[in-house]
Structure 1
Amino acid sequence: MTRLQGFPPVALDTAHTLILGSMPGVASLSASEYYAHPRNAFWRLIGELLGFDASLPYEQRLARLTSAGYALWDVLGACRRNGSLDTAIEAESLEVNPIADFLAEHPLIDRVFFNGSTAENLFRRHVMPTLRNRELTCRRLPSTSPAHASLTLAQKTHAWREILR
């Protein structure tokens, strides 16, 4: 099985909030874009919450997100997985991103939101023990993945309002 490699973080020095996913899916890896699957709700709900058109070109969406103080990354930097489901990630293949170093370089970040339970579980298991004397508010939000279909877009957007200051 091929080892999948994730993306670098997207952030400005002024970031106050980090949004963490688990690992990019097949569509995202193919497009080299975070949340590229057309049925993933991430950009639609973020666009609504931050007041921009989710159909903007990718670089403009990233610019809108980061200029509003949000950073975007994944807990995993690499892993082996068949398909896009988090449940298919091979546990022995995990390579965790250096999130503690990233947070040290972005001292204004005081909140971390997880895009789903896998991101939260991986963070709490592999990253939280490496954080020394760092006060963070951490909260799991419903996954924006199309695989998480138990909530409507409106319900997900309502839950994600938590990211607004």
Structure 2
Amino acid sequence: MNRSTAPDPDNLVLTGLAPIVSPATVVLILGSFPGVRSLEQQQYYAHPQNQFWKILQAVWPDHPLPTGADSYARKKAWLLDHGLGVWDVYAACEREGSLDSAIRAPVANDIAGLKLPKLAAIAHNGGESFKHARHTRTLGVPVYQLPSTSPANASWSFERKLAAWREVFDAHKLT
């Protein structure tokens, strides 16, 4: 199977991004699969309208998110410093565009294989990711469904999303 990281009109099989985790990860945030912009830039939540980074900044307003040319590498360190990890439930899939509803033939990531000694919770970012809760519950930690930060989830206000995300982080003493 030929896999690529950026959309190719002749090959719709895409490969996701590597996990951002460390032995200190307390809460693992699982998305479904990176969107087109994220795959192109090789960065989680790269679409400017995705509210992921904005929500995290609002949770920790006294710890500014890095900006500038090398900001993504520093954002990954920022996540880890806050006890967070990020990955997706799918390692690969076929898809045109960025919508979860367009995902076909998904291949699951080996989440249990991460071996995170301090893992206290899994937080699924959206409904497609949460479809895998039956698998993530086998890890023996609380599993949450958070409202998607995607711009496609316009039915939830930013404030409502933030409250839900903050509640999970509060429950695991990350705020």
* Higher mean C-alpha displacement, 50-59 vs 34-43: 50-59
1:54 positional shift? 4.0
Calculate the TM-score normalised by the size of structure 1: 0.88
Answer yes or no: is 1:58 the counterpart of 2:63: no
Divergent runs of 4+, >4 A: none
1:89 alignment partner in structure 2: 103
1:64 positional shift? 1.1
> C-alpha separation between the residues in 1 aligned to 2:88 and 2:136?
14
Is the contact between residue 12 and residue 67 of structure 1 (CA under 8 Å) also seen in structure 2?
no
1:124 alignment partner in structure 2: 133
Q: 82, 105, 117: which is aligned to 1:107?
A: 117
Cα pair distance change 1:25/1:43, threshold 3 Å? same
1:75 alignment partner in structure 2: 89
Aligned length: 156
1:124 positional shift? 2.7
> C-alpha separation between the residues in 2 aligned to 1:153 and 1:53?
19
SS in 2 for 1:94: strand
Cα pair distance change 1:153/1:55, threshold 3 Å? farther
Aligned partner letter, 1:87: S
Calculate the TM-score normalised by the size of structure 2: 0.84
> C-alpha separation between the residues in 2 aligned to 1:163 and 1:50?
14
SS in 1 for 2:18: coil
> C-alpha separation between the residues in 2 aligned to 1:148 and 1:162?
19
Answer yes or no: is 1:30 the counterpart of 2:44: no
Is the contact between residue 50 and residue 65 of structure 1 (CA under 8 Å) also seen in structure 2?
no
Q: 62, 82, 98: which is aligned to 2:110?
A: 98
Is the contact between residue 91 and residue 109 of structure 2 (CA under 8 Å) also seen in structure 1?
yes
Aligned partner letter, 2:113: D
Please list, as runs of the form range in 1=range in 2, the aligned pairs for 1:8-27 lying within 5 A after superposition: 8-27=18-37
> C-alpha separation between the residues in 2 aligned to 1:117 and 1:37?
19
Give the RMSD, CA atoms, in angstroms: 1.5
Aligned partner letter, 2:102: A
Q: 138, 154, 160: which is aligned to 1:155?
A: 160
Is the contact between residue 8 and residue 73 of structure 1 (CA under 8 Å) also seen in structure 2?
yes
1:55 positional shift? 5.7
